[in-house]
Amino acid sequence: MDSIVVQGGRELNGQIQIAGAKNAALALMPATLLSEEPLTLTNAPRLSDIATMTQLLQSLGAEVTAMQDGKVQVMSTHGAINTTADYDIVRKMRASNLVLGPLLAREGHAIVSLPGGCAIGARPMDIHTDGLTKMGAEIDLRDGYLHAKAIGGRLQGAVIDFPFASVGATENIMMAATLAKGTTVINNAAREPEIVDLADCLRRMGAQIDGDGTSTITIQGVDRLGAATHPVVTDRIELGTYMLAPAFTGGEVECLGGKMSLVAAFAEKLDAAGIDVWETDKGLKVRRRGDRPKAVDVTTEPFPGFPTDLQAQMMAMLCIAEGTSVLEEKIFENRFMHAPELVRMGANIEVHGGTATVTGVARMKGAPVMATDLRASVSLILAGLAAEGETVVNRVYHLDRGYEHVEDKLRAVGAQIERVQGI
């Protein structure tokens, strides 16, 4: 397996281009199943998860062509559709469940394996299936597969009240509702930028959607959707990750394509921690005000709150902050698995259930560490940037699921970092 080797102590200066959002693209790609006409995505990220979704869509009968070195994805599902999403592909990635709604909406039936992904806690499918059931689907679980069928051959509009604001379930129901008969109302809908991005794409295809970005989304079903070209929104998690880089090392980094509206709650915490963030005509610039960050308390929340996908990276920064910080994880259980690895580097962290208390140290030391999931991987790399000596981050196969060419981007702003095969 590949490893990332980091030599710490180098100040970072320069520009980093932020890619299109992984989580947005993984919802946008299944939308091609809703139409027989082409869907073209620009600003697509070049990640292993995108390759997995491509493989899944192709197995269902879609034609997927990557252009401009993968930054443009052209998709078309104009022929016969296979309505079975096989375990061998779906197990690799949680977002594979997003083919369920589109397949049901277009074909009236689907068989979809329960999905896989990072081991960061339970993310049950029942909120997805309960919503589709209210729309007239019969769904049962057999041998690890969801067998779904629309009663009468077509989904029906319904009022759906989510018990919590699930991003994936909002996306699945929203796509399913575009071709359903009548009006669907999603209450307690997720409000993330990726939801708005999906709604924008679906509207370009001819869908009638209102209220995205709020907690109530209304979709008026139509008989068919058409062709569209849509730019994938900037990845706010990659943006936040690279915004943290100069907080570890000093220096000044400009994140090209960044927008404050994507990371407002995160930027507020950075300001409280002594990190300046300001908008430019190209993106966001970031600079640490003092020699070390300041301690700050963090609670993860659904958008527009502090993102759970930036919690690991923030914890790594707070390991070298002045004072004691408390991080409370309210989205996923088991999401402090990076803490013991940071402790190996000299961090002072105590974890009790969903709360971690971090007392900053003046300096961490490089060490061999092991990545446990996608965001943990990059948090250890960031910690290595500030540590004395060499840090070797092992098992980084998770990393390529969510960050394209991370070592190239950091090296371009002054980091001493390389990928080593086979360690």
The CATH number of whichever domain residue 101 belongs to comes to 3.65.10.10
Separation of CA 395 from chain center: 20
Do 35 and 82 belong to one domain? yes
The pLDDT value given to residue 274: 98
Do 115 and 131 belong to one domain? yes
> Given pLDDT bands bounded at 50, 70 and 90, which one contains residue 372?
confident
Confidence check: pLDDT of 123 > 80: no
Domain boundary at 206, 231, 256, which? Answer: 231
Residues above pLDDT 90, as percent of the chain: 88
Do 400 and 373 belong to one domain? yes
**What is the rounded average pLDDT of the residues 31-46?**
97
For residue 25, count other CB atoms closer than 10 A to its CB.
25
> Given pLDDT bands bounded at 50, 70 and 90, which one contains residue 333?
confident
Confidence check: pLDDT of 422 > 90: no
Give bridge partners of residue 294 from the DSSP assignment. Answer: 322
Phi, psi of 104, deg, nearest 5: -60, -40
Confidence check: pLDDT of 170 > 80: yes
Cα 180 to Cα 209, 212, 216: the distances in Å are 12, 18, 18
> Given pLDDT bands bounded at 50, 70 and 90, which one contains residue 352?
very high
Do 271 and 356 belong to one domain? yes
Binding site listing for UDP-N-acetyl-alpha-D-glucosamine: 94, 309, 331
Confidence check: pLDDT of 267 > 70: yes
Amino acid identity at 186: I
Confidence check: pLDDT of 1 > 90: no
* Residue reference for tokens 């000299």: 346
Confidence check: pLDDT of 114 > 90: no
Cα 251 to Cα 11, 12, 248, 285, 287: the distances in Å are 5, 5, 9, 11, 6
Q: 251 in the Ramachandran plot: left (φ > 0), alpha (ψ -120 to 50) or beta?
A: left
Contact present, 44 and 50 (Cβ < 8 Å): yes
Domain boundary at 207, 231, 255, which? Answer: 231
Confidence check: pLDDT of 255 > 50: yes
Which spans in 218-351 are helix H?
236-249, 264-272, 311-318, 339-344
**Nearest partner of 17 among 230, 232, 197, 234, judged by Cα:** 234
**What is the rounded average pLDDT of the residues 31-45?**
97
Do 78 and 168 belong to one domain? yes
Q: Which helix (H) or strand (E) holds 100?
A: helix 100-107
Do 313 and 289 belong to one domain? yes
The mean pLDDT value of the chain amounts to 95
List, for residues 292-310, the tens digit of each pLDDT value. 999 999 999 999 999 999 9
Number of domains in the chain: 2
| Beta strands 390-394; 368-370: pairing state | parallel
Long-range contacts of 148-153 (CB under 8 A, 24+ apart): 148/100, 148/103, 148/104, 148/109, 148/110, 148/111, 148/112, 149/108, 149/109, 150/104, 150/108, 150/109, 153/108
Confidence check: pLDDT of 15 > 70: yes
**What is the rounded average pLDDT of the residues 375-390?**
96
Q: Residue 133's domain spans which residues? A: 22-231
* The two structure tokens encoding residue 264: 């407002």
> Given pLDDT bands bounded at 50, 70 and 90, which one contains residue 398?
confident
The pLDDT value given to residue 116: 57
**What is the rounded average pLDDT of the residues 217-239?**
98
Is 201 annotated as catalytic?
Answer: no
The pLDDT value given to residue 210: 98
* Residue reference for tokens 């259930």: 353
Domain boundary at 208, 231, 254, which? Answer: 231
Do 11 and 100 belong to one domain? no
Residue 137 has, within 13 A of its CA and on its CB side, a CA count of 32
Do 163 and 283 belong to one domain? no
Separation of CA 413 from chain center: 24
**What is the rounded average pLDDT of the residues 86-90?**
91
Q: Mind giving me the DSSP string for 11-58?
A: -EEEEEEPPBPHHHHHHHGGGGGG-SS-EEEES----HHHHHHHHHHH
Contact present, 28 and 41 (Cβ < 8 Å): yes
Do 285 and 227 belong to one domain? no
> Given pLDDT bands bounded at 50, 70 and 90, which one contains residue 124?
low
Cα gap 56→145, rounded to integer Å: 15
Contact present, 235 and 45 (Cβ < 8 Å): yes
Do 200 and 251 belong to one domain? no
Contacts of 204 by beta carbon, 8 Å cutoff, 6+ apart: 228, 229, 230
Rounded to 5, what percent of the chain is helix, strand, coil? 35, 30, 35
Q: Mind giving me the DSSP string for 327-355?
A: EE--S-SS--TTHHHHHHTT-EEEEETTE
**Nearest partner of 311 among 338, 288, 292, judged by Cα:** 338
Do 195 and 51 belong to one domain? yes
3-state secondary structure of 102: helix
Binding site listing for phosphoenolpyruvate: 22-23
CA angle 193, 198, 199 (to 5 degrees): 95
The pLDDT value given to residue 119: 41
Binding site listing: 22-23, 94, 309, 331
3-state secondary structure of 135: coil
Do 337 and 410 belong to one domain? yes
Catalytic residue among 118, 201, 255, 319: 118
**What is the rounded average pLDDT of the residues 280-300?**
98
